Amino acid sequence: MPTAYLREVCVLFNYHYVPIRRHLELHKHDKKFGASKPLRKARNAVPLPEPDDLILKHIFYFSHEDLIKQHRERQQKERKRKREEAEINGELLECGCCLDTFLHEDIAQCADGHLFCVECVRKAAYEVIGRGQLSFKCIEMGGCAAVFPDSVMQRVLPPSVFQSHMERVQADELRKVEISDLVSCPFCHFAIIMPDPNNKVLACQNPSCMKESCRLCREPNHIPLRCDEVIKQGQRRILDKLEEELTSALIRTCYKCKKRFFKEEGCNHMKCPCGAHMCYVCGKPLSAKTPYDHFSETDPSKCKMTIDTQKFNARRVAEAEKRVAQQAQSDPMAGSLDVQKLLNLSSKRRKRTRAEPLTII
């Protein structure tokens, strides 16, 4: 199959393996694709990375889909049989929250013996986690002070959610102990003892994180920059907005082919290699036959043919800085901002980042 067609299928199914595989299996014998040609070995072939656990699970599901569906059907039939039998024998238990009846295996019990269905306990647990709390108290309407044991919550919550909760509990217990030189990762609940004060980079060993951070300012690793030279998380949005404003102040974009350009000198009539004509001052398209009708040195309603480009650009940059500074003052997440400092940091960041060269016309 053509590579372009494979890309379309991946986008169509949002890169989900199973529906993509089903679609390709269904259409693999279509005549429009013709016979498959043997692949030639590339000269500088790059080895493929090892597939992660998630893609392996998708591959396993696709290979055993029929067996998995049959197993689920058997489970549903067995569950229906158990419920009918329990209903006849009067063995169904009532949930203290939704008041519906359930099998014993679908009931969770607090430390004081109050019974609730697994679904009600799970919903209450998600609310507790969302509030940042660590203990799952009983949801009995009378105000029971007991909690649900960890063994019960392990059965109620998905494995990944329960593991994340236990990591938060362990991190909270470590903080209460107040171990000296204990440093925690700002992106997860991993903690490690770092006795060497000169070691300022925390390399997280949590397999689901593995990020490096500064132990002093708790920002992503910024070596060799000092902490005061780093853009804080709350200020990144303001910096991005500042760079966007500065870019729009200095750079023009062709309305026809989207090519970007800037001007250092010369008249304000700009002609793109694609044939489009536009004004450098206001950015409006110009007539290819009469482009100079747009300009006038005496009419204030029209743009001037020639200007001091450096002063013009400097004025636009100053206006951009002023707009961003006003926005920063009303942004509670931005903190105390120095626009000139952000300009310097922005300049350093651009030097460390490769950018496509602009086309000068």
267 Cβ contact list (under 8 Å, min separation 6): 305, 306
Quote the pLDDT of residue 120. Answer: 94
Quote the pLDDT of residue 85. Answer: 93
DSSP 77-124: HHHHHHHHHHHHHT--EE-TTT--EE-GGGEEE-TT--EEEHHHHHHH
Alpha carbons 204 and 211: distance in angstroms, whole number: 5
Tell me the two tokens of residue 70. Answer: 């049959």
Quote the pLDDT of residue 357. Answer: 37
C-alpha dihedral sign at 218, 223, 227, 230: negative
Quote the pLDDT of residue 222. Answer: 83
Residues linked to residue 359 through DSSP beta bridges, in sequence order = 261
Residues linked to residue 285 through DSSP beta bridges, in sequence order = 278
Quote the pLDDT of residue 361. Answer: 37
Strand intervals (E) in the chain: 93-94, 101-102, 107-109, 115-117, 182-184, 191-193, 201-203, 212-214, 252-253, 260-262, 269-271, 277-279, 359-360
Quote the pLDDT of residue 265. Answer: 76
Quote the pLDDT of residue 238. Answer: 67
Tell me the two tokens of residue 12. Answer: 């169509």
pTM of the complete model beyond 0.85 = no
What is the residue-level pLDDT of the chain in tens, covering all 361 positions?
677 888 888 888 888 888 888 888 888 777 666 555 555 655 566 666 677 777 888 888 888 989 999 999 999 999 999 999 999 999 999 999 999 999 999 999 999 999 999 999 999 999 998 888 889 999 998 889 999 999 999 999 998 899 888 888 887 887 777 778 888 888 887 888 888 888 989 998 887 788 899 988 888 888 888 887 766 655 666 667 777 777 777 788 888 888 887 777 778 888 888 888 999 888 889 988 888 899 988 888 899 888 888 888 888 878 877 777 776 666 554 555 555 555 555 554 444 433 333 333 3
